[in-house]
Structure 1
Amino acid sequence: MLSHRLRGSLLALLTTTAVVAVGSSAAQADDGIGHVDCSQNPSMPGCEVTAGNPGDPGGASGGSNGGGSGDGSTGGNGNCYWAPVDSGLPPPAGKGPEGGWYARTCRGNGLGWQDTPVWLDQAPGVDLAALAQTARSQLRLPAPRIRTNPDAARMVLVRVPVWLWVDPATWGTRSATAAVPGVTVTATATPTSVRWSFGDGTTDLTCAGPGKPWTPGTEPRAASPCGHTYTRSSAAAPGQVFRLRATVTWSVAWSGPGGGGMLAPLTTTATTAVRIAQSQAIVGSTR
C-alpha cells in the first residue's frame, strides 16, 4: 500500500512532462574546436542545467531523460519509466550525496502505479557523455587581456624587443556543471598555450603558458622568452598600425559519477593595435 505522500508524488509525476532547461551556449563547435566570442561577459557565471520530473514515457524509441526505452529496465512495453520520488527517507548507509530515490512508474488503461522506491547511485537513462557536452557549452571563458612591454598603447620602435604575455586575471581554470536528478557532471577548462599573430606578415608564434611579464630592472633590449621584434614600420599598414592578436587554447576535461575524460578544446581571442615607428637618428655637424 502506497503512502499518501507517495500517491501525491505519483499523480504529479504522471501529469508533468520532462523539462531540461539549458542556458544559451557560450561555445560553438568548429571542426572539433569550439570558439568563444570575446564579446562575452567574462564575469558571467556558468549556468547549471537542471531537469524536472520525468513525465510522458514516450514510445518504444524512448529517450535519455526519463522516457521508456522499450526494454525491461524501463517498463518492457514502453509505458513504464524510472521517476525520482520524495520518499522522506535518508540515503542508505554509505550512499550520497550523489544518487537518489527512484521508483519504477507505470501507467495504462487510465491507471498509474509505482513500485517501491529504491536508491540508485545514478539516474537511469542518463547519457554522461551528452551531459558532459552540455556542461562544456556552459563554460564562460574570458578573452585574453594582452600585455606588452613596451606598452602597445604607446609608439613602439622597430628592432626593440616586445615582451608579450596574458594578464593573469584572464588566465586560470574555469568550470561549469550540468545536472539531472541524481547526476552532476562538471566540465573544467584549463588554458594551455597562446598563439601570437603580429600583423606584420611574419610567422605566428605559439608559447606554452601565458608568457613571462617584463619586470622593472630587466634590460629593455633583452629578448623576451615569448615575444617579437618588429623590423619595419606600420606606417603603410591600414590605420598605420599592426593588429596584434592572442589566441588562447583551453583543454577541457569532464568528470562525473564513475567516469571522466577529455572533450574538444576551446579557444578565446583578443586583438590590440600596435603602432611601430622607425627610430630617428640625429646627426650633428660642426663648423
Structure 2
Amino acid sequence: MVFTGSTGGGGRESSGGFTPAGDWTPPACWYEPKWTPAEFAEEFRKNWDIPHASGVGEAYRLSQDHYINGEPYEDFNKEKTGKGIWWESVRDEDRAEAGDPAAFACDARTFWVDNGEAPEVENAVTPEILAQLAYARIKVPDTSVTLAPGDATKVNLPTWAWLDNAEFDEVSVTASLDVGGVNIQATTTATPVALKLEPGTPDAETYPASGECTINADGSIGEPYAKGKADRTPPCGIKYLRSSGNGAFDLRATVTWEVAWTGSGGAGGDLPDGTFGNDQEVVVQEIQSINR
C-alpha cells in the first residue's frame, strides 16, 4: 500500500495529524492482498525455517497441513496462480506499540481470495477503508494565528486574530493498492472550516462570543488588522480583561477540518471532522496612565 500527498503537512510547518470528532477512529488493523502463491510459499518457509522453529513442532505441523497438505489448501494454491491472491492482516504499528487492543483484532490467518471475489472478513481493504487509512496519515499545518497587536496586547484592547487563505488551505492524502490484480485507491481531503480561540484565562472575552470564527468565502479565517480599524470590533479575536503579569497566557487556536473522500469506481462520502490546535503565548500588559 502506498500513501502520497500531505503526509508531511502543507503550507505552514506541520506538527501532526488531527483528532477525529467523537469516538470514531480509523482502523487500527486491516486485511490487504499480499502474496502470490510462490511468494507466500517463500515467506512461509522463511517464517518456519527449522532452526527458528524448534519447540513449535505442533504449530508448524498444523500450518503445513493448512497451507500445503490440503487442509484446506494444497501446496499454497500454486495451481491457482494468476487466479487469485493471498491476503494478510496488517496493523498500525504506532497503535500497536501504544498497546491499543484494536491493533490486534485482525487475527485471521493468511487466507486465499479468488479474483473477483470479496473477502469475508471485517476491515478487508475497500476504497472506503483506504480512505480511512489515508485519514490517519494526513498531516495538517500548525495553527499559529496572526495577532494584532503582535508582540504584546493591552488590557481591554481588542486583539485581532486571523489565518490567511494563502498559507492555510485544504490538504489531502491518497492511499493506493495494486497487488495481484487488486487495484483500488482513495483520496481523503481535509478542508479548514472554522477556528476556535481559547484565551488561556477566564478573564477574557472572545469575538464572536462563542470563540468560533468561521471561514470566509476566500478561504481565510478572520480579518487582518489594518490602520483605521482601531474602533471596530474584530470579527475574530480576543479582549483580555487583566494583564498576564510577568508571564503570558497560553492562547489555544484550534482549527476544525471537514473531511471527505473519493475513490475507485466513483465511491465517496464524508468522514468525521478533525480538529488540530496549537498553543501560543500572548503577553498582556496594563495600559500605563499618568495621573496629574
The TM-score range, normalised by the shorter chain, is 0.5 to 0.7
Deviations 1:246-285 (A, max 9, x none): 000101101012210111222121111111111121123x
**Number of the residue aligned with 2:273:** 265
Question: For residues 84-99 of structure 1, what are the structure 2 equivalents within 5 Å?
Answer: none
Question: For residues 231-270 of structure 1, what are the structure 2 equivalents within 5 Å?
Answer: 231-235=241-245, 240-257=247-264, 258-270=266-278
Deviations 1:162-213 (A, max 9, x none): 1011243442111110011221100000001011000121476111114333
* Residue 27 of structure 2 is aligned to residue 32 of structure 1: no
Question: For residues 1-287 of structure 1, what are the structure 2 equivalents within 5 Å?
Answer: 20=1, 26=17, 31-32=22-23, 54-56=35-37, 108=77, 111-114=79-82, 125=118, 126-151=125-150, 154-181=151-178, 182-201=183-202, 202=204, 205-209=211-215, 210-235=220-245, 240-257=247-264, 258-284=266-292
The change in CA–CA distance for 1:224 and 1:28 in structure 2 (over 3 A counts) is: closer
The change in CA–CA distance for 1:212 and 1:111 in structure 2 (over 3 A counts) is: closer
For residues 273 and 180 of structure 1, the distance between their equivalents in structure 2, rounded to whole angstroms, comes to 44
Higher relative contact order (CA 8 A, sep 6+): 2
Please tell me whether the aligned partners of residues 123 and 183 of structure 1 are also in contact (alpha carbons under 8 angstroms): no
For residues 261 and 222 of structure 1, the distance between their equivalents in structure 2, rounded to whole angstroms, comes to 41
For residues 157 and 107 of structure 1, the distance between their equivalents in structure 2, rounded to whole angstroms, comes to 74
- Equivalent residue letter for 1:149: A
Aligned length: 195
Please tell me whether the aligned partners of residues 143 and 270 of structure 1 are also in contact (alpha carbons under 8 angstroms): yes
**Number of the residue aligned with 1:97:** none
Q: Tell me the TM-score normalised to structure 2 length.
A: 0.56
Please tell me whether the aligned partners of residues 2 and 176 of structure 2 are also in contact (alpha carbons under 8 angstroms): no
Structure 1 runs not aligned, ≥5 long: 1-19, 36-50, 59-76, 81-105, 116-121
Q: Secondary structure at the match of 2:222?
A: coil
**Number of the residue aligned with 1:38:** none
Please tell me whether the aligned partners of residues 165 and 212 of structure 1 are also in contact (alpha carbons under 8 angstroms): yes
Please tell me whether the aligned partners of residues 33 and 266 of structure 1 are also in contact (alpha carbons under 8 angstroms): no
For residues 154 and 18 of structure 2, the distance between their equivalents in structure 1, rounded to whole angstroms, comes to 38
For residues 159 and 207 of structure 1, the distance between their equivalents in structure 2, rounded to whole angstroms, comes to 20
- Equivalent residue letter for 1:266: G
Higher radius of gyration, 1 or 2 = 1
The change in CA–CA distance for 1:160 and 1:242 in structure 2 (over 3 A counts) is: same
Structure 2 runs not aligned, ≥5 long: 8-15, 27-31, 41-70, 84-114, 119-124
For residues 148 and 159 of structure 2, the distance between their equivalents in structure 1, rounded to whole angstroms, comes to 6
Instruction: Report the identity percentage.
Output: 26
RMSD between superposed Cα atoms in Å: 3.5
Q: Secondary structure at the match of 2:277?
A: strand
Deviations 1:3-22 (A, max 9, x none): xxxxxxxxxxxxxxxxx467
**Number of the residue aligned with 2:89:** none
